[in-house]
Amino acid sequence: MARFLIVEARFYAHLNDMLIAGAKGALEAAGHEVEVLTVPGALEIPGAIATAAESGRYDGFVALGVVIRGQTYHFEIVAGESARGIMALTMDGIPIGNGILTTEDEAQAIYRADPAQGNKGVGAAEAAMALLALQEKFA
């Protein structure tokens, strides 16, 4: 049994609830302990994971959130920089499943978040568990 921290950017609560349900369900079904930490936005997720990883309390992480394209360049910054931050932490050996959705509109986000459809929360949890297993294999 491992301890996982789900770090969610609570900007779109109704979409995050679906992502969390999928991720938490997958982690608990695999016998793992799960906690959820909420941060303001996707840009804060890598920093929160880095801080939590330093505590040594968690074995793996799941990053969840939704970034929907708007009318400004802000979408590209948030989508790209949050992914870059998560990738940098992953390259440093922190097992993270990235479930931050980056979509053109809310309909795409709903499809991807919904456990009965795209179920990306489960996919992110499975990725985190796979990276943790790989880390344990090579330890």
Residue-wise pLDDT tens digits, 63-99: 999 999 987 778 889 999 999 999 999 999 999 999 9
Model confidence at 139: pLDDT above 90: no
Burial of 11 (0-12, 13-18, 19+ CB in 10 A): middle
Question: What is the reported pLDDT for 70?
Answer: 80
Query: Taking residues 42-65, what's their average pLDDT?
Result: 98
72 known ligand binder: yes
Residue 11: band (very low, low, confident or very high) from pLDDT cuts 50, 70, 90: confident
* CB-CB contact of 58 with 5 (8 Å): yes
67 known ligand binder: yes
101 known ligand binder: no
State the pTM of this model: 0.96
Q: Where are the chain's structural domains?
A: 3-137
Q: Mention every residue, 6+ apart, whose C-beta is less than 8 A from residue 43.
A: 78, 81, 82, 85
Q: Which residues are catalytic?
A: 74
The string over 36-57, giving b where at least 16 C-beta atoms fall within 10 Å of a residue's C-beta and e elsewhere, is beebeebbbbbebbbebbeeee
Residue 59 corresponds to which tokens in the numbers above?
């074995």
44 known ligand binder: yes
Domain 3-137 sits in CATH at 3.40.50.960
71 known ligand binder: yes
Question: What is the reported pLDDT for 74?
Answer: 83
Question: What is the reported pLDDT for 4?
Answer: 98
* CB-CB contact of 4 with 58 (8 Å): yes
- 4 sits in which H/E element: strand 3-9
Q: What 8-state DSSP symbol labels residue 2?
A: -
Give dist(CA 86, CA 116) in Å, integer: 27
